[in-house]
Amino acid sequence: MPGTLVSGALVPGTLVPGTLVAGTLVPGTLVAGAAPAHLAPWMLVPPRPLVLASASPARLGLLRGAGLDPQVVVSGVDEDVDGLAPRELVLELAVRKACAVAERPGAVPAGALVLGCDSLLELDGEALGKPGTAEVALQRWARMAGRTGTLLTGHCVVDTATGSTASAVGATAVRFGSPAPDELAAYVASGEPLQVAGAFTLDGRGAAYLEGIDGDAGNVIGVSLPVLRTLLAQLGVAIHELWAAA
């Protein structure tokens, strides 16, 4: 870290860079003492490891865009769960995913925070997950077109240092457009809607066929950053303490 002169004095705890004197490089020196005054205390401590228990590129990209750098460990949890209402279902699956990774021997660094998420679209009280096939995707859009559904994302954070957990569900209203048959056929043929909750995306081709949303966009993509911040705070962790070094 380069030394800093303040009123002619060197700020303690900084490295004075080498200087070229008469053609000879004079080595730098480390000045003992306190850390530079402009650095906040949390900036001097390496962030705790964050683990994302999901294979979703969209979730990973959203977290990285928010300054986080999670390690990815896929949970492998069976998502076929019957008998639960949509909100209960996304929360249950998020908890199962986070706990499966947190409890797997050697899967995560010591003291890691593990984030599990699960998303689905609630329409007419029914939980709509990934369609899987073009036929199902077309059927879903026939129901969704011109209507409003609710994209639910369950979140669960496990603190492996303490064993504590915090969980919540984010909800965003999604207003669907009415794409023409040839538009819908092209969208389904792209393959994009087949492996995403609700058979649409907000951050991809599907956004063109939405009228808009009411609520958090990140929740639709797969992680609500406000929800994550709240859950971390419940565990005594500030989200900025997890920011990766710039």
Q: Cite the active site residues.
A: 118
Can you name the residues that pair with 171 across neighbouring β-strands?
Answer: 152
Neighbours of 100 (CB within 10 A): 20
DSSP state of 224: -
Helices 134-144 and 181-189, interaxial angle, to 10°? 140
- Tell me if 161 sits within 8 A of 111, measured CB to CB: yes
Token reading at 221: 């993509």
Token reading at 145: 């077109």
Task: List, in order, residues 6 or more apart from 1 with CB less than 8 Å away.
Answer: 14, 15, 36
Can you name the residues that pair with 127 across neighbouring β-strands?
Answer: 122
Token reading at 44: 């001097």
- Tell me if 91 sits within 8 A of 157, measured CB to CB: no
Neighbours of 160 (CB within 10 A): 20
